[in-house]
A and B are shown apart, each in its own frame.
Chain A
C-alpha cells in the first residue's frame, strides 16, 4: 500500500469513529432553538447553557462519584482475583489449564439479558438492591473471565526461570507473586484494568435494573433518565455524554505507554 493510500484509509476510519462524537459536540454547544436542524452543520452561535443545566439541574456530581466507585472497585476486585488466578494457572503448574480457561470463558458467554432477572433476585435476597455493592459485585464477576484470560496470556510470556529464581532466592509462592511477578505484570494489569474500567463505566442494563435512586445510580442510567414528560433535552444529553467520556479519554492517554511498554527487556538474554 502506498503512503498516501494509507493516510486516506486512516482518515476514513477516523471519520467513521469520530463523526458521531463531533455531532455530539456540536449538539452540546448549539442553542436550544437550533437543536433539530438537519444537517447538523455549525450552529449560528456557541453556548454553554446545556453544560450548565446538565451539571446543575441534576445531582450530576453524585452520579459521577457513583460511577467512579462502582467501576473503580469492580476493577480492583477483578484485578486482584484475576491476577492471582492467572498466576496459579500459568506459573504454579496447575493441571488441565486449557479446560479451566475454557470453563472460565464459557461463563462469560451468557448474554446479560439472560442473567439479569436471576441476578436481580439474588441481589434482592442479599439485601443489596439500590446499592453500589450490587454493581461492584456484578461488574467484577463479569469482568473476571476477561481479566483471567488477558493476564494468563500476559504471565505466560514472563520467563518461568524468573519465577524459579525467585523461589530459589527464598520466596514463598506468594512472595514470588507479590515481589517479582506482579511488578513485571504491570503493563498487563494496566491494560486489563483499563478494559474492565471502561466496560463497567459504560454499563447500562444492570445499573438500570439494580439501582432505584440517586444513592447508587450511575451516569449512563442518569443520562437515559434525562428526558422529561414532554421533551427530550438533546443538548443536555449531549453535554453530559461528553463530560462522561472525558475520564476514559484521560485514562487511555495517560496509560497507553504503560500498556505497550515491554518491561521484561533485559530479564533474559534476547
Chain B
C-alpha cells in the first residue's frame, strides 16, 4: 500500500496537452476517483501511475519515492481495464496466477493464492474455463482477481463497470466497496459516471481538459461546487443554470450585476406545485419523468428550461401552468464568463 503524490505533472502527446500541471496527494488506503467527461485526461492519469506512460513534466512519488522512470513491472501496481484484457489463451486460473508466476512464485503457492482469491470473488467454480466462455460479470471478477491476487501497492480501475448492465453494475459497486474495506489497498478509480464516483469514493477529483476543477469528498462536491462545471457535472438530473434576471429582488454576492451572473438551482431543491408560493418561478410543463416516488418535471419559465421535483404520482399534462418553488438559501451564484462560484 502506498500514498501517491503528483506534483505539477503534465503529459503531452505531440502538440496535444492531455494533463496540465496536476498536483494532488492520494492517501494510503484511500479510495480516490477521477471523474470527468471523455477526453478529460482521466485514463492518462492511470497510465501515468501504472508506468504505461511517462510524464512530460513534474514528478510522481509513491510513499515519497520517485517513480517517474520506473517501468510498470517495477512498480507493483495492479490494474483492471475497461475491456478486462483477460489473456484469451489462458484459463481463468492461469489468468489470475499470471502475476505470481512472473514473480517466480512456486506452483503450489500460486495455486493456493488463486484458490483463495477465486473463493472471495465467487468464481472458484470457473477456474478451468477460458475467458471466452464467461459472461461479462464473470470476466469482470476474473480481472479483479488477477489484480488482487498479489496484493499490490496500488490498485487501478479504469471504467471497470461501464460494460456491465445496470443491475450488475450496482452489485459490483457494492463488491468493490467490500473488497476495498477488506484489503485496504490504495485504490485509484476512473469513471465518467458521477453517480458511481459519489457512491464509491472517499474523495473525488473532477477533471476537465486536463485540469482538476475541484477535489473533495463526494458530498462536498455536491453541496459546495467550486464552479459551474462541477455543479453541472455532479448531481442527477444536472443542476439548473438560470439567468439571474429571472429572480426578483436577488441579493447577489460581491456586488455582482445580475446580467453577469448565472444562478444554479438543484432540481431536488425545486418543488413543483400548482399553487403559488412566495419564492417561485411560474411556467408551464414540457415533460415529466416518473421515478416511482414522484416526478421530475421539466418546464419552461420565460423561455428557459428548469427541472424540479413534484410529489404527484400522476404525470402533469404538458402545457399545465405550474410554480417552481425554491429556497433562496439554496441558490448558487456563478460568474457567467469564468464559471467561478460567487459567494
Residue positions of A touching B, CB distance < 8 A: 159, 161-162, 164-172, 175, 179-180, 183-184, 263-269
Contact = CB atoms under 8 A, between A and B. Distances in A.
24 contacts: A161-B82, A161-B83, A164-B52, A164-B81, A165-B79, A167-B50, A168-B50, A168-B77, A169-B78, A169-B102, A169-B146, A170-B72, A170-B73, A170-B99, A171-B73, A172-B73, A184-B87, A184-B89, A263-B88, A263-B89, A265-B88, A266-B132, A266-B139, A267-B88
B104 to A, nearest CB: 10
B72 A168 contact: yes
B102 A269 contact: no
A154 to B, nearest CB: 15
Contacts of B71: 167, 172
Interface in B64-106: 71-73, 77-79, 81-89, 98-99, 102-103
B81 A165 contact: yes
A169 B84 contact: no
B133 interface: yes
Nearest to B81: A161
A179 B73 CA distance: 15
Contact of B102 (A162, A171, A183, A267): A171
B130 interface: yes
A155 to B, nearest CB: 15
Contact of B79 (A162, A168, A172, A268): A168
Interface in B34-66: 47, 50-52
Given A169-B99, A169-B146, A267 B50 contact: no
B131 interface: yes
Contact of A183 (B77, B82, B89): B89
Contacts of B156: 168
Contacts of A171: 73, 102
Contact of B132 (A165, A175, A180, A265): A265
Interface string B10-49: 0000000000000000000000000000000000000100
A180 B87 CA distance: 7
Nearest to A169: B99
Nearest to B136: A269
Given A266-B88, A267-B85, A167 B163 contact: no
A269 B139 contact: yes
Contacts of B146: 169
Contact of A168 (B52, B103, B134): B52
B137 to A, nearest CB: 11
A175 B85 CA distance: 17
A22 B83 CA distance: 52
A264 B87 CA distance: 9
Given A164-B47, A164-B50, A267-B83, 19 more contacts: A159-B83, A161-B82, A164-B79, A165-B79, A166-B87, A167-B51, A169-B78, A169-B99, A170-B73, A170-B102, A170-B103, A171-B73, A179-B98, A263-B89, A266-B131, A266-B132, A266-B133, A267-B86, A269-B163
B216 to A, nearest CB: 29
Given A266-B88, A269-B83, A167 B133 contact: no
Interface residues of B, number: 33
Contact of A167 (B73, B88, B134): B73
Interface in B184-222: none
Contacts of B130: 266
Interface in B101-144: 102-103, 130-134, 136, 139
Given A167-B73, A172-B71, A269 B99 contact: no
Contacts of A175: 102
Nearest to B156: A168
A66 to B, nearest CB: 36
A268 B73 contact: no
A175 B89 CA distance: 15
Nearest to A175: B102
A180 B103 CA distance: 16
Contacts of B139: 266, 269
A165 B85 contact: yes
Contacts of B85: 159, 161-162, 164-165, 267-268
Interface in B134-170: 134, 136, 139, 146, 156, 163
A184 B87 CA distance: 9
Nearest to A163: B85
Which among A171, A183, A269 has the greatest number of chain B C-beta atoms within 10 A? Answer: A269
A136 B84 CA distance: 42
Contacts of A168: 50-52, 72-73, 77-79, 156
Contacts of B99: 169-170
Contacts of B82: 161
A267 B86 CA distance: 5
B238 to A, nearest CB: 29
A265 B89 CA distance: 9
A261 to B, nearest CB: 11
Which among A171, A184, A266 has the greatest number of chain B C-beta atoms within 10 A? Answer: A266
Which among A161, A164, A168 has the greatest number of chain B C-beta atoms within 10 A? Answer: A168
A262 to B, nearest CB: 10
Contact of A162 (B87, B134, B136): B87
8 closest Cβ pairs, A-B complex: A266-B132, A165-B85, A170-B102, A161-B85, A266-B131, A268-B83, A267-B88, A167-B72
Nearest to B102: A170
A11 to B, nearest CB: 38
A44 B79 CA distance: 74
Contacts of B134: 266
